[in-house]
Structure 1
């Protein structure tokens, strides 16, 4: 876990996965923490870079003394995204995280890739209930109320896992009372129904809920689906308010399917230049891509556009392999063919794609076996010239 200062307050956050992988942002529910995503992360990290963070007064984040709004939470999130260097990102949000996702769809749609909203609504509960809860939290405290509130998150089947329920009860009890109460007051005023009517179009949108969710029951999610133009919606049986905790394998599988570019759409419509350019910048770095664009002439400009759409958009942009796997394959092919210029470029960027020294060594040893020792020996030499290997650690 890392920490960052934003507008005088400390935020706890995590950034995991290769720098060159597409970024996925995960937003947790009220009263919980970024740990709700822990059992989903191993699957996501095979293909993506992942950002999680704790809401004000939750987990490791400092309490807030301000009145929170969705706009303020979005500013906080975008400040974290700026730290990653990503221009666009996929977004997944549960409950209050889903309300934040709706705000992003209305006000920052150009920054978003695929969006998955779970267990949320254009309105959540009633203003009276949220204000009543805020009043109780301020008077009684979450340490007292946690035993009442935490079991509401889970289905009957999950409640039988007493260790899990007790663990999240303890997490809720440690949450800052005033920050939680202020977020309750904020949720009392959240009503996205009118705002969603005028939002920009966004195709890659998915909804997921639980049949046993008491806070945002299926009818709440169905009403949100109607407001969003009927995107794909799935209600999972015997799941409550937090699918990532109750059914992490299912959530991970859905995310891997829904976040990836739709191959049927790609086959029919192709990849736009801008989509390819985004991937090219993410893998090779913005400075390299800018130089290549500036150096293009009337002779090779169509070629640059072609490789941006095809090589970077359709090939590197596909999530059927990770950027690390594609990098290793590319290094092996370039080393075998003796394409030194491109090989040096990909050796330099392999750190961004998550290639380790051991993986590079194994790839070049395969090159030696199947393409010839001279080709591998030459590639090893180029790799050492460009920062691979530690002379002091060599036997």
Structure 2
């Protein structure tokens, strides 16, 4: 079992320093309070992102260990990938905000990360995807601006009252040293504090083109992911899919999505999740199909019966440990599947019935792009 390597997500640690020579600012047309939002994400309850008890977070599963525990624990790791990308983007924005940006500005600076010149601009009244935002911030790798991607490292579009916006990040153009293997990976966060569908705040995390591991080393690595996180009071709902092009279980069939819905209460350290394992080419939006027809237990039972039609039922039952839905989580992560540990979980069990993952085929084909 391997540890989850988040190098391609932890792409901006030294970029956070953002030691820009503000004397190089060419233009700043307005003054007043800092216009860069300090908050740009919704926190996912730790119960749904906690690593297994042994302290290792997995990016691969072993066919010798495939059971409900492994699938649900892997889900925690995949949700954490989405949250980690949002944390990075928010941290970068916080660091940019520490410069004290009050309006239109242009700054050229030499990155402490890769020693390359980066250009940072802030403009007003920017249109993106049919909506006008008060501000747009763009960071580019100066020497790459003639490339097909324009050398874009980061774009942020936002409104201030209430805060809502979109942030897009390409690690490779931020740090050509640390993230030289990040390739065309791009992260996007849609964040809003506009009350929507009963949520006080919500975000949508989209990730495309993460570099895949060698299938012989890790057949379960992710290339694309999309998840919604919505908060109301102390309750947080999460749903989405992670795409695993090389994943297989007991048969030779490959290409699955971890399709999930989850809900947690942070103050009570409890969470509930339901996982489906549909093929990643499934062109279907119906919750029943995605989460029930392709439930963990159903997929595993069908594949085991296909490969070992005469296998002793006791052995099958061992493989199917904790494959029942839903999965229950507590402070230290996954607890058990199927049977609720206590009545405290009942409201969350009901809550996830109203949540549906995205269409698996859409996540397989997901592409995140800059303006």
- In the superposition, the TM-score normalised over structure 1's length comes to 0.27
Tell me which protein shows more strand as a share of its residues: 2
Tell me which protein shows more helix as a share of its residues: 1
- In the superposition, the TM-score normalised over structure 2's length comes to 0.29
